[in-house]
Structure 1
């Protein structure tokens, strides 16, 4: 054994022990170092997990304000849910000035669906011939500047055929369809609501990558309405069953599958909720009027929500992962690492 090695072993207090002994000691040292590094990288550990519900439904809305796609499982990314080539609010209808167009202006948008099969996207609507588009928008198509809730964001134009199809279906003014690509700079909801963190990001969603609603809250609202409404009126990404009415209002941190989620704020509701998802007709009345009768914010929060009723909660993912229908939903109790 060389002098340098002997000195190193002596410094570790191993002296001239047999190789097996100091190899075991070295292995234990590496384990200890690894544990210390993990603790430094993850300063908090999960406390006791309490199941508060079950994932009943998952929805991706590929085109903002258009039909949702029910999926059995989805990747949870920083920009929202993803299933294959379908990503949440990654397509957007805009007018000639580049401003977003939603069901607030064009209620019949809720009748348009976008599905993906292989390398093709299909735009569909009743009594209208389907339009096939490539999954990857041609790179030669123009990249345009769009505005979504006052914030500028890019989109690649999906071409003349898509523009003509959307314009022909809505029959009001010229529109275009654009696609957000992963290399484009996302919007920062922190610029609209300072309760979000500077690192939180979205593509064409209103304010947050994830909206959670409980089945119990929807049932409670329907018990107050003459004409029942659906989850589709509120466009949630995750519907939770097996919990109390408005339990989601108090869930600050959740674990679903291997994804940790953090609640940011409630979702304030507008006239889009009054659009019938089956007919595309806007009533401008219900369920909004009923929600205003019992779901207004505390006066101390009016600077955040104004006079809009609250229904559902905005969450942001703390890590990527997979969420499945049937997954248990756990409320995270946190404790500081020792």
Structure 2
């Protein structure tokens, strides 16, 4: 090999090394830029609405309790002794009873006062019973296709419910306690993360709906319905109809939530929350005219119209009526 070839090979080697260093340096710069973009740069908050109501439904299918503030926990809203959908009416064999089967349940209110629960209903005397009854038996229950436990609330409560519903069968009330094994929404709704836990809700811990969406629906109905018909936890004002469909991640106060799916609606929406009468028609029929899912999502929602959005809690904290709702842009 002559001197010229030696010098040519040496130059080629150095040139290739320089190319690799340049590429490596470029990759490093890009990686640092992406790291800043996705890890270091703070999320952008865009104001999208205001919390106008907070509703807790202690009794599944029972009347809502409106509160000015609530703890937002991974398993749902909490205010004092009241936890969202932590009490459940069951048959003697443990199967859940909701307003779908017994529409007059929507007129029953369950509140708390001085360490006692207060059960009220039309033409019934108020019944008080302890929040905690550790000596009462634990009953194995069935909520949709999932097994879950509940602490029996006693024979007096059972007699009250059985008398009120007057359906020719015996009903009992159970209470989900913190030490009990919760349900996993992922078992019935694949869009939920495996880690999520719930007590007696249909499928998720938090449901959000805007006032504007209800107003839009009412513009299509002969008789107006109220937000109570749809049993949300968080009601939002100061936004346009169905804006909530696009709020993937939101922040309210210190609380952060992630949207999992829309709320598919069923026959329960046809129960009037003021009379306890089921029509089996409106507003469900009207919702089906304009709120069905895209073809690609039929395997999730089937023929159920979509109204409201289901959220999981990413960061716990306190929610208050009047809080600004922010959409988080990553």
> In which range does the TM-score fall when normalised by the shorter chain?
0.7 to 0.9
SS in 1 for 2:269: helix
Counterpart of 1:189?
185
Residue among 97, 120, 123 paired with 2:119: 123
Following TM superposition, the consecutive aligned residue runs of length 4 or more in structure 1 with deviations greater than 4 angstroms are 42-45
Residue among 158, 173, 181 paired with 1:163: 158
* 1:124 to partner: Cα distance: 0.2
Counterpart of 2:54?
58
SS in 2 for 1:317: strand
* 1:118 to partner: Cα distance: 1.3
Counterpart of 1:313?
309
Deviation digits for residues 16-56 of structure 1 (CA, Å, limit 9, x no counterpart) = xxxxxxxxxxxxxxxxxxxxxxx9xx957641210000000
Farther off after superposition, 209-218 or 112-121: 112-121
Structure 2 distance, partners of 1:120, 1:48, is 44
Structure 1 distance, partners of 2:120, 2:262, is 32
- 1:325 counterpart = 2:309: no
Q: Tell me the TM-score normalised to structure 1 length.
A: 0.85
Paired residues of 1:147 and 1:153 also in contact (CA < 8 A): yes
SS in 2 for 1:244: coil
Structure 1 unpaired stretches of 5+: 1-38
Deviation digits for residues 190-209 of structure 1 (CA, Å, limit 9, x no counterpart) = 11111100011110000000
SS in 2 for 1:128: coil
Counterpart of 1:114?
110
Counterpart of 1:225?
221
Paired residues of 1:208 and 1:314 also in contact (CA < 8 A): yes
Counterpart of 2:22?
none
Residue among 207, 213, 231 paired with 2:209: 213
Structure 2 distance, partners of 1:139, 1:193, is 33
Counterpart of 1:71?
67
Aligned residues: 293
Deviation digits for residues 57-108 of structure 1 (CA, Å, limit 9, x no counterpart) = 0000000000000000000001100000000000000011211100000000
Counterpart of 1:283?
279
Structure 2 distance, partners of 1:268, 1:202, is 18
Deviation digits for residues 125-154 of structure 1 (CA, Å, limit 9, x no counterpart) = 121111001121x21111011111110000
SS in 2 for 1:168: helix
Counterpart of 1:298?
294
Paired residues of 1:46 and 1:332 also in contact (CA < 8 A): no
Q: Tell me the TM-score normalised to structure 2 length.
A: 0.87
SS in 2 for 1:265: strand
Counterpart of 1:82?
78
Q: Pick closer, same or farther for the CA change 1:125–1:107 going to 2, 3 Å.
A: same
Which of the pair has more CA radius of gyration? 2
Residue among 237, 240, 252 paired with 2:236: 240
Paired residues of 1:73 and 1:325 also in contact (CA < 8 A): yes
**RMSD across aligned C-alpha pairs, in angstroms?**
1.3
